[in-house]
A and B are shown apart, each in its own frame.
Chain A
Amino acid sequence: MRKIRFVLIFCLFAWACLQSAAQAEVFRIAALMPSATNDLAFSQSMYDALAAIQEELGEEAFEFTIQDSAYIVDDAAVALRDWAASGKYQLVIAHGSQYGPIVEELATEFADVSFAWGTRQDTFGMDNVYSYAAASDEGGYFNGVLAAHLTESGVVGLVGPIEVGDGKLYADGFANGVASVDENIKVNIVFIGSFSDVPLATEAAEAHIANGADILTGTAQMVVGPIAVAVANDVLWFGSDASQDDLSEDIGVAFQIYKWEVLLLDMIANIKEGKLGGEYYKLTLENEGLVMEFDKDFVASEALLAIAEETIASIVSGDIVPIPEMAEEMMDEDDSEDEGDGG
C-alpha cells in the first residue's frame, strides 16, 4: 500500500517536472493595453517592445498575447484573472497605471504568477509584482531644451491629455527644459481633457499657432491631430512615447521613445531564475530604456547636436534634474519608508 502511494507520488512529481520543463522552453507573456496597438503612442510602445523581444528570442522561445483597447478599467480584471488562472503565462503585464488596484488584488490570489504593471513605482510590497515607469520628464526636458534653441518666436505650445501621470511628467519636464535655456520663452500648455479627442486636440494646436507658437509638442494618442497641424503650418514637432516619424514628414525634430524591452528582458531573466517580482524598474536615458531619436528628415546643426549630447549626458550624470520638486518628494518618501522599516 505504502509502496503504491510512493510510486504514485513519484509519478506525479515526475509529471510535474516534465510539465514545467516543457513550459520553460517557451516564455509566454500576456499583456493588457488601454488603447489600440497602432496608436503611435503608449500602447504601441509596449506592443513594439514585445514584438522586438520576439524578434530577438525567436518565436519558438517567446510568445505573447494581448488584449488592446481595454480602456474600461474593470474589464482589465477579467482579462488579467483569466490569464493568471490559466497558468499558461510566466508574466502578465497590465500596461496602464489605472490597472494597479486590480493587479494588487490578483497578485495576492495568484502568488505563483508574476505580474508587471506600470507606469508606477509601486510593487505593493509583493514578491510577485514588478512595477515599471518611464522617466518621461527626462525626454520632456531634452525636447524642451532643443525647442528653446529652435524657437524663433519665443512661444512653444504643448497639447496634453489629462493633467496626470506620464502626460503631466512630460509637460513639466518640457517646461523646465525650455526655462533652463531661456526663462522668457513662453510655454503654453493645454490639457484637452481626453486621450482620444483628435478634433479638439487639432484645434488646440491651431490655437497655439494662432498665439504665436512655432514649435509644438504633446503626448497621448490624439497628438496625430496636432502633428497634422504642425505639418500644415510648417512648424516643428517634438514627440513622445513612440516614433511618429512616418506622420511628421519634414517637421519632426526629436521623439522620446520608450524601449520597454530593456526592462522586460531583465524581468524575463529574473523570472527564469525564479524571482517573480518585488522590483521597480524605470526607463531612463541612463539605462537606455529611453531613447531620444531625431526625425530622419531633420537636419540638426553641429551646435544643436552638441547641445543634445550634453543635455543627455547631464541628465544621465544627475547634474540636471528635470523636475526638482519630484526628486525632493521621492527623497522624502524614501526617508519615511526607511523610518517605517526601522519601526
Chain B
Amino acid sequence: MGMEEIFTASVFASAIRLATPYIFAALGETFAQRSGVLNLGVDGIMLMGAFSGFYAVYVAQQAETMSEPVSLLFGVVVALIVGGLMGLAMAFVSVTLKAKQGISGIGVFLFGFGLSELLFQQWVGTPKSIQGFHRIDFPILTDLPIVGEIFFHHNLLVYVAFALVPVSAFVLNRTTFGLMIRAVGQNPEAADAMGVSVARVRYATTIIGGIMAGLAGASLSIALIKLFQQNLTAGQGFIAVALVYFGGWRPWAVAAGAMLFSFVNALQLQIKVIDAAIPSEFAVMAPYVITIIALIFASKRQEQPTALTKPYERGE
C-alpha cells in the first residue's frame, strides 16, 4: 500500500471530526486546571451533556413545535445548562467543601455515567435517531479538491470547537480574567491579597469546564453521531484530561495534542480498511502509544499550576 492510499484527505477530515469532542472538553478542563481545579469527572459531564442535548432535540423534533435549526439550538442550550450545572456541583464540592479533587471527580463521573444511562432507559428506551447538525456546504470552498474535503465539509459544532482554541488562548493570556485565573492557580495567596476572590474565579472556571464538557457531549450526540446510547463517550473525557497535560495547560498545544491523537486514530482505521492484515489490537493501541512518545520528544518546560488540586485556605 502506498503513502497516498494511507494519507488521504478523508483521513485528515476524520481526524478533525474525532478531535472535536476532545477539543471542547480539554479546553474547558484547561480553564479549570489553570485555576487549580482538577476535574476528573469530565467524562460523566460529557455523558450528561450528550444525553440532555440529544433528549431535548428528540423531544422538540417529536413534538414538531420547532423548526429543525431551532430544535438543534435548543439541544445545544440544554446541554450547556446541564454541563454548567454539573460544573457548578463540582465547583461546590471542590472549592467550597474543599473535597479531594481526584476522588470527587470520580464521583461526578460515576454519577453522570449512571444517570445519563438511567434517564435514557426510562425516557427514550432504545437508540433513536434525530435530525442533527448537517455538514455545511460552503459555496466554492466545499468543492475545492482535497482542501474542501478536509476543511469545508463539517458540521457547525466542529468549527465552533476549533474557533474556541484561539478564543481560549486569548482569554487566558490577554484578558484580566485570564490573568486572574492564572494568578489563582499559580499563587492563590498572592491573588487573594490583591483582592481577587479565589473561590469566585475557581467557580467560574469549573463551570466553564462543565459547559464545555456538556458541549463536547452534545457534539457527539447531536452533531457527529446523532443519537445517544449508554456510555456514548466511551471514556473520551479521561483522554481529554490527559490531553490537558499533553498540552501543558496551553490551549494551542492542547488542541494540537487532540489533533495528534485523533489523527493517529483516523490513520489506524484507514490502514485497517485498506489492509486488514495488521493485528487490530496493535492498530487500536497506536494513538495511545504515539501520544506518549510524542510527549517524550516534545520540548516542554511549562510549569504545572502550583495550586492544582489544592483547595485554597485563607490565612494559612
Contacts and interface: CB of A to CB of B under 8 A. Distances in A.
B197 interface: no
Given A38-B121, A203-B14, A211 B274 contact: yes
Nearest to B126: A38
Contacts of A222: 229
Given A40-B126, A221-B229, A188 B265 contact: no
Nearest to B287: A200
Contact of B21 (A191, A199, A247, A249): A199
B226 to A, nearest CB: 5
Contacts of B232: 198-199
Interface in A197-211: 197-200, 202-204, 206-208, 210-211
Q: Taking chain B's interface residues, is the majority helix, strand, or loop, or is none over half, making it mixed?
A: helix
Contacts of B281: 193
How many chain B residues sit at the interface, stated as a range, is 35 or more
Given A193-B281, A198-B232, A224 B14 contact: no
B229 A224 contact: yes
B18 A199 contact: yes
B274 A44 contact: no
B298 interface: no
Tell me which of B11, B234, B281 has the highest count of chain A C-beta atoms within 10 A of its own C-beta: B234
B280 A203 contact: no
Given A194-B284, A204-B273, A206-B10, 20 more contacts: A38-B125, A39-B229, A44-B126, A188-B274, A189-B276, A192-B284, A193-B280, A193-B281, A193-B284, A194-B234, A196-B234, A198-B229, A198-B232, A199-B224, A199-B234, A204-B272, A206-B14, A211-B273, A228-B129, A249-B129
B309 interface: no
19 contacts: A36-B117, A188-B276, A189-B272, A189-B276, A198-B229, A199-B234, A202-B224, A203-B17, A203-B265, A203-B266, A204-B272, A207-B11, A207-B14, A207-B266, A207-B269, A210-B8, A211-B270, A224-B127, A224-B225
Interface of B: 8, 10-11, 13-14, 17-18, 21, 117, 121, 125-129, 220, 224-227, 229-234, 236, 265-266, 269-270, 272-274, 276, 280-281, 283-284
Interface in A141-157: 157
Given A193-B281, A198-B234, A206 B17 contact: yes
Contacts of B231: 196
A200 B234 contact: yes
A208 B273 contact: yes
A163 interface: yes
Given A36-B117, A40-B126, A246-B126, A202 B225 contact: yes
How many chain A residues sit at the interface, stated as a range, is 35 or more
Q: Which 4 residue pairs of A and B lie closest in terms of their CB atoms, listed nearest first?
A: A210-B10, A193-B284, A197-B234, A191-B280
Contacts of B233: 199
Contacts of B283: 193
B276 A203 contact: no
Nearest to B234: A197
